[in-house]
Amino acid sequence: DAVIHWFKRDLRIRDNTGLSLASKIAKEKGVGVIGVWIMSPQDWEAHLVSPAKCDFELRSVKLLKQELAELDIPLYIEVVESSKNVLHRLIEMAQDWGVKNVFCNLEYEVDELRREAKLVTKMLEKGIRFEPQHDDCVVPPGSLKSGGGKQYAVYSPWYRAWVTHLHAHPDLLHERPLPYKNPSSFRKKYKYLFESRVPEAPESKRLDNEKKDRLVHLWPAGEHAAIERLERFLTEKIGAYQATRNFPSANSTACISVHHAAGTLAARTSVRMARDVNSTKKLDGGVEGIKGWISEVAWRDFYRHVLVNWPYICMNKPFKYEYTNIEWEYNDNHFKAWTEGRTGYPIVDAAMRSLNSTSYMHNRLRMITASFLAKHLLLDWRLGEQYFISHLIDGDFASNSGGWGFSSSTGVDPQPYFRVFNPWLQSEKFDGEGEFIRKWVEELKDVEGTAVHNPYEAGGKGAGIAKKNGYPKPIVEHKFARERCLERYKAGIGRN
């Protein structure tokens, strides 16, 4: 009597491939659409989803439910404790409601792909068609191959192929039609579905009230907030993006990763809208800022394609096999100091404190802090990867794993291992005035001039203020750390 669209990482109505198709099929059959959203606390636990992200999703689901209701589409919400049971419950729902077609958008991580494959056969046994769609990437994984027919493991040639593919298949960027309004009989017939409520987050994922309020203000949820943010960025900032994107204090990036991660905004929508403000209407020409921004959104696709082609990445393995044998340090105090922003390297500490407070970190700072953990502290990059995913509001497995692989040199198309960021030089280059440091490291607020980058080294007033305010001295010495890193990485690679 209806067609189901199962919402997962696509918490929006606009430009949603699966929902749009579900609605088209429903219309053809003269029936309506039922939306389903399942909260699986075990899944959130297993994937280390941050409380901030859980909260953002719940807020977005609430808005989605209201918006769907305006189209007389119910969003049925259920809590299914064990992730294994999600599959069975979905089949039961389809059977209970006499549904013969179930749609969703694909997720590409190994567990999710396996679950989807299982659902196809299990549903078929019951006479139901389960039809997952490509939607999350602008170019579906599997579409791009190098001249030799191989998968790309380097970004630049992959990106050129990505652009060429999109210029050749403009339909990939077309906006998916909005869903139709359901037959009016739906309201009465499925009253109980309309009445299902958005649950509270499981206890382990709950934010305290102060943080919740702060994040609601910083990160408004739902697809309207996403489009508003994107439009503002496209009108006010994208032109200067290429020149300013690396400066954390410039506040010059789009800050929409949270929406891409929850699916309140499709990457396709972002790329199309950015292309459309470009006078050339091309992806890789015209205004530098637009071209540059689109190529950043492309990184998101790149890391997803990599995940599909080399799924062992989902199993805690480095992309580069020869980096499996690096001998890491085991130092809980160092790890703790890194997480709390007490390493004695002001730019690292400012970045970590900003993450802990806002659940977000600027890309340049993600690279600096990740490199610091893996190379200066020589701690296993997976510790940092986990800390990020369990604290970021935009936590996303593929991008996070890609970013950590890049920064620790163990990933796909990485920073060469012998390139060890000097945190002080990075600081001088990208936070020249020390504005970002002073904002987040209270102890150094009164340190004047460039002494803020490395107060103890600078001596004089910088060191005095740092000491007086209890700011720690560097927990590792830079030169020692750099040499230790080069030695250990080299030895690790040599062990293969």
Q: Is 301 annotated as a binding residue?
A: yes
Active site residue 210: no
CB contact at 8 A, 77 and 198? yes
- The closest residue (CB) to ligand FAD is 403
* C-beta of 344 vs 384, nearer to ligand FAD: 384
Task: Assess 366 for contact with ligand FAD (CB under 6 A).
Answer: yes
* C-beta of 33 vs 250, nearer to ligand FAD: 250
Q: Is 97 annotated as a binding residue?
A: no
* C-beta of 239 vs 472, nearer to ligand FAD: 239
Task: Assess 484 for contact with ligand FAD (CB under 6 A).
Answer: no
Task: Assess 115 for contact with ligand FAD (CB under 6 A).
Answer: no
Active site residue 496: no
Neighbours of 169 (CB within 10 A): 12
DSSP state of 3: E
Active site residue 310: no
* C-beta of 12 vs 362, nearer to ligand FAD: 362
Distances in Å between the Cα of 194 and the Cα atoms of 306, 353, 416 are 39, 41, 54
d(Cα 51, Cα 49) in Å, to the nearest integer?
7
Phi, psi of 253 (to 5 degrees): -95, 175
* C-beta of 304 vs 453, nearer to ligand FAD: 304
d(Cα 269, Cα 18) in Å, to the nearest integer?
15
Task: Assess 268 for contact with ligand FAD (CB under 6 A).
Answer: no
Task: Assess 370 for contact with ligand FAD (CB under 6 A).
Answer: yes
* C-beta of 343 vs 400, nearer to ligand FAD: 400
User: What is the spatial order of strands in the sheet that 129-133 belongs to?
Assistant: 75-79, 32-39, 2-7, 101-105, 129-133
* Contact positions with ligand FAD (CB under 6 A) in 282-301: 296-297, 299-300
CB contact at 8 A, 393 and 56? yes
Active site residue 299: yes
d(Cα 111, Cα 115) in Å, to the nearest integer?
6
Structure tokens at 375: 């190379």
CB contact at 8 A, 34 and 2? yes
Site string for ligand FAD, 300-329 (x = CB under 6 A): x--x--------------------------
**Sequence-ordered strand ranges (E) for 229-277:** none
For residue 92, the SS3 value is helix
Structure tokens at 286: 């015209």
Task: Assess 400 for contact with ligand FAD (CB under 6 A).
Answer: yes
Task: Assess 404 for contact with ligand FAD (CB under 6 A).
Answer: yes
d(Cα 476, Cα 86) in Å, to the nearest integer?
47
CA-closest candidate to residue 107, choices 221, 227, 255, 261: 261
Structure tokens at 167: 């210029």
Q: Is 403 annotated as a binding residue?
A: no
Candidates 363, 386, 390, 469: give the one binding ligand FAD (CB under 6 A).
363
Task: Assess 49 for contact with ligand FAD (CB under 6 A).
Answer: no
Candidates 402, 455, 462, 492: give the one binding ligand FAD (CB under 6 A).
402
* C-beta of 257 vs 339, nearer to ligand FAD: 257
Task: Assess 399 for contact with ligand FAD (CB under 6 A).
Answer: yes
* Contact positions with ligand FAD (CB under 6 A) in 374-393: 388, 392
Which of the residues 309, 331, 363, 469 is marked catalytic? 363
d(Cα 182, Cα 190) in Å, to the nearest integer?
11
Q: Is 299 annotated as a binding residue?
A: yes
Name 408's Cβ contacts closer than 8 Å, sequence gap at least 6: 370, 371, 373, 374, 375, 381, 384, 414
Task: Assess 338 for contact with ligand FAD (CB under 6 A).
Answer: no
* Contact positions with ligand FAD (CB under 6 A) in 225-264: 245, 253-257, 260-261
Beta-bridged to residue 37, according to DSSP, are 7, 77
Interface contacts to ligand FAD, rule CB under 6 A: 245, 253-257, 260-261, 296-297, 299-300, 303, 362-363, 366-367, 370, 388, 392, 394-396, 399-400, 402-404, 407
- Catalytic positions: 296, 299, 328, 363, 381, 404
Residue numbers in the known binding site are 241, 253-257, 293, 296-303, 394-396
Binding-site residue numbers for FAD are: 241, 253-257, 293, 296-303, 394-396
